[in-house]
Amino acid sequence: MGEPVDTAFKTTGSKWLLPVSEHLGFPLDQVNFLACQFFALAAAFWFRLYLSPGHANPLIRHAVATLLGIAFLIFCFGWYSAHILTVVLASYLIIIKADINNVHRYTMVTAMGYLTACQVSRVFIYNYGILSTDFSGPLMIVTQKITTLAFQLHDGMCKKPEQLTSEQRSMAINVRPSLIEYLSYNLNFLSVLVGPCSNYKDYTDFIEGRHISRRLRQHVGTCNGQNGYDKTPEPSPLNAVIQKLLVCCGCMLLFLVVTRSLPIKHNADLDFVSSAPFLTRLTYAFFSIQAARPKFYFAWTLADAVNNAAGYGFQGMDENGKPSWDFICNINIIGIETATSFKTFIDNWNMRTGIWLKMVCYDRAPKHQLALTFILSALWHGVYPGYYFTFLTAIPITIAARAIRKSIRHYFLGSRVLKLGYDILTWAATQLAICYTVMPFLLLAVDETIIYYRSMYFHVHIISILAAVALRRKQNPRDPSASATNSKTFSSTSSSSSSSSSVSCPAKCQPVHSNNNDKVD
């Protein structure tokens, strides 16, 4: 959302809504995306009510979900949708034909290699004036799903239970999926355009009618003796969907009123950089980054609402005994806006991608987990230089933030006033560090990134490196768990634990299968 309508001619999808695009002043690719997502919302209600597991067998549900998903891809991306279908079919051949001991490696290389090739071609097709909803978005989601399934299949068929973590054991797959199951998981209309990526077992539970009963079974506090989960009426997602749609409306309003008035590119404008004082540049950078978030909030919250409308995403009962529909929640807006640490911000942003990175990279890398995970994240996002500036910059900031918290936080816990002051200071530092770190991600180009970082005097780079080096020498050697704690990059999503309610995720956004000590983005 946000480019002038002159990019419409590049759209390879349907032109049916071109008059609407011209009337509203939105690019056609964005109008097509919104049309598909709102149609998906209506179809999701129909899917839950008229194609529920009690009314239709799993084969019908798989087939309908797949066909609608493919239709959305063709409508939005035209012949470019062939890229997505090609990598899904190629990966299925690997799943059924390749040596099961290496299926995860072959699939990762194939899916990430194909994604990277498409990302390179995307640079030549769109240059730096990329469409906000081009075909690479669904291809990125499909890559997550393909590799997730492959690793979980390898866990289930090649490893002994004692070799797996509890999370890996619960998600391990013991039987190769059929073609229709594989297509449905990867291409279903609920998540084909913008995600989120969920586990294969969770998705098949949803299709086959076990999703809600399993969540209730895990929350034994909602059952009492003779009145078990199997006798509990199926909760309705209507209230959750309405709340999330209201959040979407607020985000759209913010986008129309605020985002367009604070363009990101102005941070690298030579006249602005050369004439404005440092504090003015810093203030503009802060508010322009804040203004860039609503479009992401909108897309992820709408996708969550679509899944909920179909009956997918039930988390269980919250502490108040009310149903929570945040099982596949991708974002915690309150957690992001109130984050007091770099890690907490990461934990609340694009949460399902964080879980994927942790599952396929961080948990399995023999060493250098932090660096490899950030590099994989950058590669998954694309080949624009700005992505690599962002993720490489995040490494020293993450290390420095961890060292600072470990070294000084305990001095502020003895007094409410000191703790409040510490929280305010760390909130401001976190938000400014995030602004500095993600700016290249939005600027994309090397020249503009260098202009911005020079205008900021590289101050966050310098401070984080000095802090990491200085505080590393002061680490307490008496704590035997220090090295183990330091090795953990990402802890439980703050969206899961720091806030009991959120405008985007009314209850705790706590994926049941996420580890409470590790998370990445």
Residues serving a catalytic function are 350, 381
Residue 33 to residues 26, 244, 297, 299, Cα–Cα distance (Å): 11, 18, 15, 10
| Closest among 30, 29, 18, 493 to 298, alpha carbons compared | 30
Structure tokens at 329: 């929640």
Packing angle of the helix pair 81-97, 179-187 (nearest 10 deg): 140
Under DSSP, is residue 39 helix (H, G, I), strand (E, B) or coil?
A: helix
Structure tokens at 367: 């060493």
| Closest among 361, 401, 366, 397 to 378, alpha carbons compared | 361
| Closest among 259, 330, 255, 313 to 502, alpha carbons compared | 330
Query: How far apart are the C-alpha atoms of 103 and 153, rounded to whole Å?
Result: 8
Q: Tokens 């978005």 belong to which residue?
A: 137
Query: How far apart are the C-alpha atoms of 3 and 29, rounded to whole Å?
Result: 10
Distance between alpha carbon 408 and the CA centroid of its chain, in Å?
31
Query: How far apart are the C-alpha atoms of 352 and 372, rounded to whole Å?
Result: 18
What's the one-letter identity of residue 32? N
DSSP 507: S
What's the one-letter identity of residue 473? R
| Closest among 225, 115, 519, 228 to 347, alpha carbons compared | 519
Sign of CA pseudo-dihedral 172, 173, 179, 184 = negative
Q: Tokens 């995306």 belong to which residue?
A: 33
Query: How far apart are the C-alpha atoms of 163 and 169, rounded to whole Å?
Result: 9
Residues sharing a CB contact under 8 Å with residue 392, sequence separation 6 or more, in sequence order? 374, 378
Under DSSP, is residue 346 helix (H, G, I), strand (E, B) or coil?
A: helix
Residues sharing a CB contact under 8 Å with residue 212, sequence separation 6 or more, in sequence order? 234, 235, 311, 314
Other CB atoms closer than 10 Å to residue 199's CB: what's the count? 25
Query: How far apart are the C-alpha atoms of 339 and 495, rounded to whole Å?
Result: 10
CB-based burial, 431-451: b 16+ in 10 Å, e otherwise: bbbbbbbbbbbbbbbeebbbb
Query: How far apart are the C-alpha atoms of 426 and 418, rounded to whole Å?
Result: 12
Check residue 2 and give left, alpha or beta (phi > 0: left; psi -120 to 50: alpha): left
| Closest among 39, 36, 44 to 75, alpha carbons compared | 36
